[in-house]
A and B are shown apart, each in its own frame.
Chain A
């Protein structure tokens, strides 16, 4: 037993080195054959490392908070077209941002993909992005969905809408986000916790449009009208509308799309029992947000990174990328999915999305002050 145990230890320690070799070379190694590379690595690691440096032109390294199966298929398509390998770290958007910040100049990441303009604006504010010059990208992505200095670009678009019960709510009763604070909605409004960036950005946009005072009043008003303490995600709010816990929910469009396209027949039934209402059509417009991409300040493969964004903004990729999460494409040439089209066109908030980043900290503080859990 004693000898066996140490034999096992030795084998595992050796495999540790093999694994390390395999991972350091992951930039150049084709993902399909890690075993082959790792054995080469251990036998002649010096030679291989120098090779790895030379071949670096063939990769682009990506930090992303998106993780849909369609994304992976798109990366493969990009590799097929350009020969550039895509290496991915998937994680929480905020945490990856801090990781990028801590790594500073030493980072290996070339691209950063995350949901919400508020996050992208913060990224820029921290000095972690760089401006990109590319006619293709500027042509593909409308001005209002990208940074003023072209340091980040929206790649998909979603609206934060009112989802209402078809049984109990007549859409004519609905008008604006602000109207949900009126007494008639007492104990009827469902919305998730303030910890969530979507709510933070919504409040951030209201701070910009209505002023801080009015935004705080709005937050207080929503808290007063909540059907229950915030819990769960947007999907849970929509389900709670159908279950009768409340009558209206504030949620992102793609959550409705996801329920409608679910494998679970019960989910599909939920989507059939709710309506989607785009608020503030007569006034400031519905809050829209993006998920977007930026080239990092200290990117080592800038050309490849730009090529990647060009690819993502192309009509072909846009349709697949947006549909992967039931979102709207940002490229006006690309078509949204059938379901999204069935909801019709709508007026969007006309604000510089950068503002959402600027107002984020204040929004979090207001939420805490009014006791929005």
Chain B
């Protein structure tokens, strides 16, 4: 009797839904597994001998250097903004998030455009001052250039995560340290760094994953990484086996990274001890120090946003009448809708899984929560290939069913947008889930339990207590996913239905075809929409910390 009750407790709508979603996410991973353990062929030996070491070292160098530099910039900015008062602080507070609106691949071709021989810097020097410069100092299309691009366009992840941590968690600690007479530098190194460890590691792992999965920057700069090698092996050599072997290797790297993250974060859980948080009171800086702080923020802001934005704007003016046609508005519509719909689905799925793994503590729930994260470790290329194979099979099956009943098929999934959306959901579920899960983590279980004690059902509690309490996290997750999809390249390029073009694919195709100024209009719209989203994201997190 008790056993039945236990099973009944385990099998419920949450468990069933969560399991279903997990199965969909696991499909590509299983496909990788199947090919990973297949017998190696001649191509694979060739790759192993000539390429593997190169792509492994390129990928690791990019990841490590970007990780270190973004940490240095992101944490220092977060620290300055949260604990000090200096001119323009309120502007920088959100302006420093803005670079997130510029997809790294757009940043890459913009900077190449600024710096190359016909770019604005060199042509001004040449035409106005008759100065010829050594080309190698202006060369950005190499691994150092890629690190620069990733650093300036990805540091906002680190900045946002550590800033919100410092704002929410550290006020009493910092104030106590101040009272005990610690100076700023001491406080930063002896207190801030150690207590923000979890936040920093979280930020590094997001940034590392973005770098690993990047397709646009490394392809444009011609740097061999896992992602370009996977595409080249699959599409160039028509060798799915070897491509999936590379993908499998990459997944091992990523899973190690995620394990490291869990390990390094340790068991520390910071959840609210009260439902009120006290904000830090920022300290006023002396005049010269304040200038320094503003100057530092301004340099980063110019490099990471203002300069590329201005260049794109100039290009847009140059090509505007050729590019912005009626069709162009179709691109905006496509990009917007596909991102919005996918983000809504991801958020719904994310809430369901996060709620399940939170309430039901068993091993199964734990496994589900871990598996959800796997989606992010699967390279975009692999998701694209897997999803395509799965939908071909599905369409063929449906076709045979319809033929049996002598009906015309009602829908061909591959020519609909469903295939693309499925791929987005698998790819970006982790982004939304993480945000929602951390929201749930913060409120803890006590409010839910109180509600249940008062006789409200799980589902009632879910709608009346849980969702309203984490609505900030839900909306935050929605925005992060929305921006990610707006910028997404490999999945969109491979799985697009007929006559379906997005801003990102259009911008990339122009840039990759060496028509950089033509790519500017689409790029600016992406930046504009993402910029607005980021502004809202900022407003929400502000509101969250004022509460």
- Chain A interface residues (CB < 8 Å from chain B): 1-2, 5, 8-9, 12-13, 15-16, 19-20, 23-24, 26-27, 31, 45-46, 49-50, 53, 61, 67, 69, 72, 87-92, 94-95, 97-99, 101-106, 108, 122, 126, 192-193, 195, 228-236, 239-240, 242-245, 255, 258, 263-264, 266-267, 269-270, 361, 364-365, 368-369, 373
With A108-B415, A264-B118 as given contacts, are A49 and B395 in contact (CB-CB < 8 Å)?
no
With A15-B341, A270-B117 as given contacts, are A95 and B471 in contact (CB-CB < 8 Å)?
no
- Chain B interface residues (CB < 8 Å from chain A): 46, 50-51, 112, 116-118, 122-123, 132, 135-136, 139, 141-142, 221-222, 224, 228, 231-232, 234-238, 318-319, 322, 327, 337, 340-341, 344, 348, 385, 388-389, 392, 395-396, 399, 408, 410-412, 414-418, 421, 463-464, 467-468, 471, 474, 493-494, 496-501, 505, 509, 513-515, 517
> For the complex, what is the distance from the CA of A263 to the CA of B228, rounded to whole Å?
32
A-B contact count (CB 8 A): 175
A27 to chain B, nearest CB (A): 7
> For the complex, what is the distance from the CA of A354 to the CA of B385, rounded to whole Å?
28
With A2-B471, A24-B416 as given contacts, are A244 and B135 in contact (CB-CB < 8 Å)?
yes
A28 to chain B, nearest CB (A): 12
Q: A231-B221, A232-B141, A258-B515 are in contact. List 5 more A-B contacts (CB 8 A).
A: A13-B341, A13-B344, A87-B499, A92-B235, A239-B117
* Contact residue among A27, A95, A245 (Cβ-Cβ distance under 8 Å from B415): A27
Can you sample 13 A-B contacts with CB below 8 Å?
A23-B416, A23-B497, A45-B410, A46-B410, A89-B496, A90-B501, A98-B234, A101-B238, A106-B396, A255-B514, A263-B517, A264-B517, A270-B117
Chain A residues, CB < 8 A from B238: 98, 101, 122, 126
| Chain A minimum-CB-distance residue to B142 | A231
Task: Report which residue of A236, A242, A243, A244 has the largest number of chain B beta carbons within 10 angstroms of its beta carbon.
Answer: A243
The A contact surface, by secondary structure, is helix
Cβ contact within 8 Å between A235 and B514: yes
| Chain B minimum-CB-distance residue to A3 | B463
Chain B residues, CB < 8 A from A104: 392
> For the complex, what is the distance from the CA of A26 to the CA of B396, rounded to whole Å?
20
Cβ contact within 8 Å between A50 and B494: no
Cβ contact within 8 Å between A106 and B415: no
Cβ contact within 8 Å between B468 and A91: no
With A2-B471, A88-B499, A108-B414 as given contacts, are A95 and B319 in contact (CB-CB < 8 Å)?
no
> For the complex, what is the distance from the CA of A348 to the CA of B381, rounded to whole Å?
38
* Contact residue among B392, B463, B500 (Cβ-Cβ distance under 8 Å from A106): B392
* Contact residue among B344, B396, B421, B463 (Cβ-Cβ distance under 8 Å from A2): B463
With A98-B235, A102-B392, A364-B237 as given contacts, are A108 and B498 in contact (CB-CB < 8 Å)?
yes
* Contact residue among B50, B221, B237 (Cβ-Cβ distance under 8 Å from A361): B237
| Chain B minimum-CB-distance residue to A194 | B222
| Chain B minimum-CB-distance residue to A54 | B408
| Chain B minimum-CB-distance residue to A101 | B238
Task: Report which residue of B237, B497, B498, B500 has the largest number of chain A beta carbons within 10 angstroms of its beta carbon.
Answer: B498
Chain A residues, CB < 8 A from B410: 45-46, 49
Chain B residues, CB < 8 A from A92: 235, 493
| Chain A minimum-CB-distance residue to B132 | A244
Cβ contact within 8 Å between A102 and B117: no
> For the complex, what is the distance from the CA of A97 to the CA of B501, rounded to whole Å?
18
Cβ contact within 8 Å between A2 and B468: yes
With A102-B388, A232-B222 as given contacts, are A87 and B498 in contact (CB-CB < 8 Å)?
yes
Cβ contact within 8 Å between A103 and B414: yes
> For the complex, what is the distance from the CA of A72 to the CA of B412, rounded to whole Å?
25
With A91-B496, A239-B117, A266-B118 as given contacts, are A72 and B327 in contact (CB-CB < 8 Å)?
yes
Chain B residues, CB < 8 A from A19: 337, 341, 417
